[in-house]
Amino acid sequence: MSVLLVGTLDTKGAELQFVRDLLHQAGVGTLVLDAGVMGPPYFTADVPRECVFAAAGTSLEEIQRAGDRGRAIEAAARGAVVCALNRAQEITGILGLGGSAGTTIATAVMRAFPFGVPKLMVSTLASGQVRPFVGVRDILMMHSVVDISGLNRISRTILTNAANAMIGMVKGPARQFAEGGLVGGKPMIAATMFGVTTPCVEVARKLLEAQGYEVLVFHATGVGGLTMESFIHDGLIRGVLDLTTTELADELVGGILSAGRDRLTAAGLRGVPQVISLGALDMVNFGPPPTVPEKFRGRRFYQHNPNVTLMRTTPEENDQLGKEIAHKASAARGPTAVLVPLKGVSALDAEGQPFWWPEADAALFQSLRNWMSPQVQLIELDRHINDPAFAEAAVQTLLEMMNGKTPSV
């Protein structure tokens, strides 16, 4: 088993060799992938650049003739992913070195590997905005401090620390994953939560834990929903309690906490039992008041804190959200139920609260009735989402579906 070292051996060869030798001295095997283009490689790679570009559907010669740096990086990233996945059974960790190009290539490979495989990127960009590189994966970004351009007392220190970190990760207790969670561990349930649905999810979490499940709660802030979807896609989740689907509202209306168009699809595609509800669909999220787009002037707002401004969704938006949820739920390959809290979908959506708007909620509920497939259990409860009885019903429904039963709520 080996650590995959990803970099450009024409520009970062000495540094990669330095790290490779440190790993070897610690008894850790390596697999070196060269994504370089122009100059000759500093040393011979296990996966040469010719193979990388061939895997991308092109050739090194064609890329060199084109002289297009952007095209070269894109092709190198695509080919490196293919080459790495072809040898995935050999790889126990991934370590990359680079500037903007090397970081783009190496982290593309890292994002293609599942949670739990150690991933470490030494990058000149690690002190800035790293979300495009990390995505939803467990990638450790380490700032190179100086440019990765030759070995000196600073770069040697950084690279030695990086090598030692990877040695520690790959030599630590092994973690094996299988369908539904860690091998030998409790089956895992994914749940979504927002501040305004916390009482509901906390009750549900405790009930599921009492039944022997491990509950992973994801904060529905965009990246939270994306991360949950990736865990489901990777086969780590036994059941889904998607009680807080607020990210759909941000995607529809243009808020800052969208999880993208594919939110609410992974469980359906994999056939994982799922209970869906409408938590916080009464709101769209923005930053401080000056950041709210001018086109929303006159809408109903609530200042959650100095940095978060919430905007109430309208009946028209809720009608669209109901249709979207119904279509995605109806396309699911596995047991699916949608639970409707008829007395409100968040702490702010209750009688006497700032977002109480029965007509808007009614549009959401009616849209679900109009568009939901008969194969999906649409369960309407005369409860608020934060009523403990609602959480109990959601848990009961999920447990029954995971046990192959028809929900009796």
218 with 159, same domain? no
Amino acid at 106: A
132 with 235, same domain? no
184 with 333, same domain? yes
The domain in which residue 205 lies consists of 178-402
Residue 202 burial (C-beta neighbours within 10 Å; 0-12, 13-18, 19+): middle
Residue 343 CB neighbours (<10 A) = 17
Q: What is the CATH number of the domain that holds 161?
A: 3.40.50.12020
What's the pLDDT score for residue 52?
Answer: 97
288 with 353, same domain? yes
What's the pLDDT score for residue 125?
Answer: 94
Ranges of residues in the chain with a pLDDT under 70 are 174-184
Question: Does 409 reside within a domain?
Answer: no
Question: Does 407 reside within a domain?
Answer: no
> Reduced to 3 states, what is the DSSP secondary structure of residue 210?
helix
What's the pLDDT score for residue 238?
Answer: 95
Cα–Cα separations (whole angstroms), residue 21 to 28, 92, 160, 304? 9, 17, 10, 53
What's the pLDDT score for residue 176?
Answer: 60
182 with 166, same domain? no
What's the pLDDT score for residue 183?
Answer: 57
318 with 218, same domain? yes
- Alpha-carbon distance 177 to 171, whole Å? 17
196 with 118, same domain? no
Cα-to-chain-centroid distance, residue 339: 24
156 with 293, same domain? no
372 with 328, same domain? yes
> Reduced to 3 states, what is the DSSP secondary structure of residue 286?
strand
162 with 277, same domain? no
* pLDDT single digits (tens) 343-358: 999 999 999 999 999 9
224's enclosing H/E stretch is helix 223-233
What's the pLDDT score for residue 182?
Answer: 55
DSSP string, 334-345: S-EEEEEETT-S
Degrees, nearest 5: CA angle 310-311-315: 145
Q: What is the CATH number of the domain that holds 347?
A: 3.40.50.12030
Question: Does 121 reside within a domain?
Answer: yes
Count the domains in the chain: 2
Query: Considering 122, 156, 171, which residue would you say is the last residue of a domain?
Result: 171
112 with 237, same domain? no
What's the pLDDT score for residue 45?
Answer: 97
- Alpha-carbon distance 214 to 335, whole Å? 20
160 with 194, same domain? no
